[in-house]
Each structure stands twice: as C-alpha cells, then as structure tokens.
Amino acid sequence: MPNSLTIVEQMSGFAVLTLNRPDKRNALSRALRHEIVARLDEFERNESIRAVVLTGSGPSFCAGFDRAELLGGEMEQVFADANEYHRRVFTFLKPLIAAVNGPALGGGCDLAAMCDFRIAGVPAIFGQPQVRFGAAASYELMRVVVGTGHAREMCLTGRNYDAQEALAIGLVNRVVEPEDLLPATTTLAATIATLPPEVAENAKRGFVALQRPVFGP
C-alpha cells in the first residue's frame, strides 16, 4: 500500500502486522483504521496465513483514536465508520494475537481486547482514560474479556492498569520482558499455524457467533 500506515511481515504460516505511526503513538486515525481492515481482509483471503500477530512500532502499542481528528471538529466523521472497524477486527476469522509492547489506551485497549490473545511486555499499560473526558468506554467488550466487576471498574474510573495488574484480572494471558515479546507471540502464532486450518477457523466462527452482540450483526 502506498504511504502505508502498517507494516506486514509474512512468515511461514503467519503474518506480523505492525501499526506504523510511531510519532503519533500509533493513534487510530480514520486512515489507519481503514488500512487495518484492508489488511485483515487480505489475510483472510490468503490461505498461507493461518494466524496474525498485531503490534505497534516505537514505544507504544496504540494510544486510541486520533485526538487531532477529534479536536479538529471531525468527530462525526471519525465515529461514522467506527462500528464497522470494531466489528471487522472482532470477527476476523483467523487467530489474532496482540503483542502489546507499550501503552494500549482507550481505543488501543479496545484493539488489544478484540484480539484472541494478549501477551504484554513489562512496559505495557491498559485503560479506558477517555471516560475522564466524557467519552464512553467499550463496556461490553471489556466485560467479555475481564468480566463484569473488573469491566465496571475500568469503565467507571478511567484508571490505568500496568501489565501485572492486567494479568491478574485476565486482560492479558502472559507478561514477558520487552526483548521476549515478539519471540513469544510469533512462537504462539507458529504453533497455531501447525493446526489443521479448519480447526482454528471453525473455532473462531464459534467465538464470533457467541460474541457478535458486542458490535452488532
């Protein structure tokens, strides 16, 4: 893709998708969200890709929706296609693994939560801080991942959770040292890629059918 906001590395049986706006902490501009969806569409069509690792370039995983667009008076346009973006990521039919290398806040926390697994580096931070400024949190999504009690706390306080606390509440599956993050997630993706293709994809179809109400049909 010209002027790509993502980087794709195709490995044997899986791909690594890297958000590539490090100067903006990988904030989810409309263009980046569209590109994420386009990449996932490509991966679904590519039979040689059986799993995907999602990570961020630079020190951040994803800072959430692009505040420059919100503050620039584009709020209506920013949210016009947000539901479709969320639905597309959440219903992606191949295993999606978040390698959370740094802060994953607001929409970035949502992006990690929409993945099937979350492995966090020690510097990772999670939260829904937008509620402190009057923006709604994704309660239903958080509830699916961490349960009602923790989801309500996240969405009503807006406080941040470090990697170890995220592990304790079930938001992440594992915490590793930063240098071990990509090896851990790519090893997991490679393991999944050795399964018969129908196993993982049929399982994902079942997950999607159960969880579809989170983002609608």
Give residue-wise pLDDT tens across range 143-190: 999 999 999 999 999 999 999 999 999 999 999 999 999 999 999 999
Domain spans of the chain? 6-214
pLDDT tens string 104-118: 999 999 999 999 999
CA distance linking residue 151 with residue 143, whole number of Å = 5
- Length, in residues, of the chain: 217
Burial group, residue 190, by CB count within 10 angstroms (0-12, 13-18, 19+): middle
Q: What is the pTM of this model?
A: 0.93
Per-residue confidence (pLDDT) for residue 31, from 0 to 100: 94
Sorted by sequence, the CB contacts under 8 Å of residue 157 that are 6+ apart come out as 131
Q: What fold characterizes domain 6-214?
A: 2-enoyl-CoA Hydratase; Chain A, domain 1 (3.90.226)
Of residues 11 and 74, more confidence is placed in 11
Residue-wise pLDDT for 87-138, tens only, equals 999 999 999 999 999 999 999 999 999 999 999 999 999 999 999 988 889 9
In the block, which residue shows the tokens 């607001």?
106
> What single string gives the DSSP state of each residue in 93-143?
SS-EEEEE-SEEETHHHHHHHTSSEEEEETT-EEE-GGGGGTPPP-HHHHH
pLDDT band for position 40 (cuts 50, 70, 90): very high
* Paired tokens of 88: 């597309």
Is the confidence at residue 205, as pLDDT, over 90? no
